[in-house]
Amino acid sequence: MCSRLFPYSFSLLPILLLAVLPAMTEAEAQIRITKPAGEKISIHLGGLTADGDEASRLFMQTLQGNLNRSGWFTVTRAGQAEVSVLGSVQRRRDQLRVEGRVMGGADRRQYMSNSYRHSADDARRLAHRVADDIVQAVTGHKGIASTRIVMVGVRDNAKELFISDADGGNFRQLTRDGNISVRPRWGPDGDQLTYTAYLRRFPDVFLVELSTGNRRAVANYSGLNAGGVISPDGQDLAVILSKDGNPELYVKNLRSGRLTRLTHTPRANEGSPSWSPDGREIVYVSDQAGRPQLYIISREGGSPRRITSRGTANVAPDWGPNGLIAFSSRVEGQYRIAIMDPQTERVRYLDVPDRADYEDPSWAPNGRHIVCGRREQFRSSIYVLDTMGDPPLRLTREGGDYYSPAWSPE
């Protein structure tokens, strides 16, 4: 099955033209500012002058917000700053031009010197790119401003897919099926999404090409088809199918269609698979022990290993690029975000300032931030949590309920 998902063709990945000024030497490129966990680097943007054009002002506003949200910086005044950004932002007809240098330290060391050209109509995307370059240059860590987040939202009594930038901007609706869409997940190249939809009154798994808007069913067997997620190499789909009885975990090769059944639990249910970063293993949920717990199994099959025991329910695992598994754990009647090292099976819980339920975590590609749903009094919003201690940030402000977010891989 192949259909047109959107009423028009569009691309979520417009080209950004980047010209680099004289390259830094290898020694300069390796210079980084290091800080104890949770301590911020002060940065000053006053040396980056912008003309009075609306696109230039939007660029500056977005850049400042991105740096504050990164977790690594605090934008401050010149005299207090460890790092300064110098240069200019100018509108030239239909282009926005940015010339920027990043300096720091007592010796005014240069961390970065770049020149950018981009459409003035998309100043936010340019600001995201510049912010990520600054994060990378100064700290050595990957920036997340240019990434995106997909989620489920309730509109007009239907559950549809929505997408936004990592800061909540550029929020837009992807599907208009007037039905139920659940559990969106990104493919490894950032241009594909899988999700479960009830277009035929029964759940099937669809794959969407974001650059074209085309979609096709990749799991539409008899019975339940759910939880589809593409492997890191893009070759296989981990999916929950009930075609042979109760819901079990399978791997489907996307090219040949070959199915491999991994679990055999005739009196239990499986769900929510997530691949390890190397694609060799899958973490998933099973209630074979009486309550939902997490298990790990090889992509080739074999005996699964149970990795959780604390809490009355452990669900919605996401195996991050840092090798850690984030999941939602019900402890003392509250769902909390837990993080586990699957090698040691040690767990820590993220501190939050309230008693709301935090559910469906998804790692950012920097391995530091997590996006999740926050549910309180039957209303749900999307929040970003920082594993290094920054306070939670609310992402969704639009009317309605939003949940089941997934962070793009890049």
Rg (CA), the chain: 22
Task: Let me know: does 73 contact 39? Beta carbons within 8 Å.
Answer: no
Give the up-direction half-sphere exposure of residue 25: CA atoms within 13 A in the CB hemisphere: 4
Backbone φ, ψ for residue 99 (5° rounding): -115, 120
- 96-135: b (≥16 Cβ within 10 Å) or e: bbbebbbbbeeeeebbbbbebebbbebbbbbbbbbbbbbb
pLDDT by residue (tens digit) across 313-334?
A: 999 999 999 999 999 999 999 9
Give the model's pLDDT for residue 201: 85
Q: Which are the contacts of 92, defined by CB distance < 8 A and separation ≥ 6?
A: none
Give the model's pLDDT for residue 156: 84
pLDDT by residue (tens digit) across 2-36?
A: 444 433 232 333 333 333 333 344 444 456 676 66
Give the model's pLDDT for residue 183: 97
Nearest to 127 by CA among 193, 196, 50, 200: 50
Measure the CA–CA gap between 110 and 215, rounded to whole angstroms.
46
Q: Give me the percent of the chain exceeding a pLDDT of 70.
A: 90
Task: Let me know: does 140 contact 132? Beta carbons within 8 Å.
Answer: no
The amino acid at 254 = L
Give the model's pLDDT for residue 11: 33
pLDDT by residue (tens digit) across 263-299?
A: 999 999 999 999 999 999 999 999 999 999 999 999 9
Structure tokens at 231: 């492997």
Give the model's pLDDT for residue 362: 98
pLDDT by residue (tens digit) across 216-267?
A: 999 999 999 999 999 999 999 999 999 999 999 999 999 999 999 999 999 9
Give the model's pLDDT for residue 36: 63
CATH (one of 2.120.10.30, 3.90.1570.10, 3.30.70.20, 3.30.70.2970) for 148-407:
2.120.10.30
Q: Give me the percent of the chain exceeding a pLDDT of 90.
A: 84
CA distances from 395 to 72, 143, 173, 371, 392 (A): 19, 17, 15, 9, 9
Taking the domain 13-139, which CATH number applies?
3.40.50.10070
Q: Where are the domains of the chain?
A: 13-139, 148-407
Q: Across all residues in the chain, what is the average pLDDT?
A: 91
Least confident of 199-203, 224-228, 346-350: 199-203
